[in-house]
Structure 1
Amino acid sequence: MWKIIGYSIAVYNDHVYPTWPYISDTAVIPPESCILSQLFAIGCILQVVVIYYRYLLIKHTVEIYSLQPIVTRMNKSSVWIGFTAVLGVSIISNFQKKTASTTHFLGVMMAFGLGSIYKILHIILSIILYPKIGSKVIIGVRIAITCVCGTCLIMCAIFGYISFNQYNGKNVSRWLPQERGYTYHVISTVSEWITAIPVLLFLVTYAYEFKDILIYKSVFEIPSDITNIE
């Protein structure tokens, strides 16, 4: 949703060419860059919470069924990989492509690269833990999402490289149809958008396993001796 908001504002302000710009190009110039940074920050917090709850669910399942230690190690590794991938998303939004390109692309590699590893680990964990938690349909959906993300990520990189080698314009954020490499550019940008959307859908699949989880509010206690200050 926030990607669409950023795209709409960027197009309205004539900062990008309307036909399939890169997501990063829709968050380069204020006000859309500021708005997207804030929305991405909120999204990152929500992703961290979901990843952590998934970790706790698997941890609890391992304890109940006394599963092999490798499951615990995979679960612990995946949660830190997931957190680092989310950090990459935050870097993408706060270090724009035109002002801090090196840091921006580092964030891209963290978000999509580590994000792909996270998804693969949780597909394996889903297979190991079935039928204790999850279902065959959910496992199939996760595999499909991961395959789509991986394929589109490769297409984005390959066609992006080809298009930039052919580009002869002056402003890549406004890549016009008459400029060289435009067709490859569109294939790359469409692949990027398709890659970004299923990433969130993968986390949404956890809802099937979260539906029966009960979360109680924390108890806040203050030792009595702290309040006895003369």
Structure 2
Amino acid sequence: MAPWQQECQAAIPSPRPGPHRGGCTGPRQQEAEERERGRAVTHEAVKQRSQTEALRSHLRTSAGDTGTNPPESGVFGFMISVTAMLGAATMYTRYKILDKLNSSYGLINAWFNTMSLLIGLLGCIGMGIVATFQEKAVPIVHDVGALITFICGVVYILLQSIISYKSCPQWNRSYVCHVRMAISIVSVIAVFPMIICASLIRKPKYDWNPSDEDYAYHLTSAICEWIVAFGFVTFFLTYIKDFQGASLIISTEIYDDYVLQS
């Protein structure tokens, strides 16, 4: 190598190893990774806190308060109306099945089945009142409809539980009767504190905080209200097995005299 080439090569500085060269990690990169891990932990904590607060908010809210403001109020009223119609159809189907069984086996008195149907339909009418007269528009009528719904609903499922025991083992199995009676007892126990605590609230409101006056009464009433509502839904689900063993036929007849006159 010529002397001038050696001088040029000596003048060129050799590259310094960076923080990522040779698999080494510099202190700045470690600090960045620690900050990223801190952000991830903080984000997860905030997410869990928001989910917990949302659950508490739902527990603090009664079933009627979830649809007080538009557009939720419109959806709430529509769904309550549909539920009332489906509930009435389910009760009537149950009534016809028991009426047919009673004519074949003589399990219960006919008036007992009829009374149960009338009480159940009265509860469905109460649901229609709740859907039509919303809480912020006509609160008194709304509360009366809710009271009719819950009281008649609890009495209906209790009567149906007694009928289930009377139709066992011809139509219902013993475990189904026990499940229905357990749901009825829980609903009956929950409906009393729901009504009592709601009546003890001196200043009704829609947005509650733990520091508000009468908050304990509102929280107890809301929890019991949700228990009774889910009790109704669960009780109706026990009808699935009964409905699989029967069919309801709607017949249509056209009178000849009417056709000739028209």
- TM-score, scaled to structure 1: 0.80
User: In the alignment, what sits opposite 1:213?
Assistant: 246
Amino acid of the structure 1 residue aligned with 2:82: I
**Equivalence for 1:173:** 206
Amino acid at match of 2:245: D
| 2:178 corresponding residue in structure 1 | 140
184-193 or 78-87: which moved more? 184-193
Is the alpha carbon distance of 1:139 and 1:100 closer, same or farther for their aligned partners in structure 2, counting shifts above 3 Å?
same
| 3-state secondary structure, aligned to 2:209 | coil
Match of 2:27 in 1: none
C-alpha separation between the residues in 2 aligned to 1:43 and 1:81? Answer: 16
1:73-222 to structure 2, matched below 5 A, reads 73-162=111-200, 164-165=201-202, 172-216=205-249, 218-222=250-254
How far the C-alpha of 1:122 sits from its partner, in A, is: 1.1
Q: Which moved more, 1:38-47 or 1:176-185?
A: 176-185
Q: What is the letter of the counterpart of residue 141 of structure 1?
A: V
Is the 8 Å Cα contact of residues 27 and 93 (structure 1) preserved in structure 2? Answer: no
Q: Is the 8 A contact 2:123 2:152 kept in 1?
A: yes
After TM superposition, the structure 1 stretch with the greater mean CA deviation from structure 2, 189-198 or 207-216, is: 207-216
Q: Identity percentage over the alignment? A: 26
Give, in angstroms, the shift of residue 94 of structure 1. Answer: 1.5
CA RMSD in angstroms comes to: 2.2
Q: Using the alignment, how far apart are the partners of 1:118 and 1:36 within structure 2? A: 24
Query: Match of 1:174, SS?
Result: coil
In structure 2, the partner of 1:60 is: 100
Distance of 1:227 and 1:161 partners within structure 2: 59
Letter of the structure 2 residue corresponding to residue 105 of structure 1? D
Q: Which runs of 5+ in 1 are unaligned?
A: 1-16
Shift of 1:67: 4.3
What corresponds to 2:69 in structure 1?
29
Structure 1 distance, partners of 2:162, 2:257, is 50
Whole-angstrom distance in 2 between the partners of 1:184 and 1:221: 56
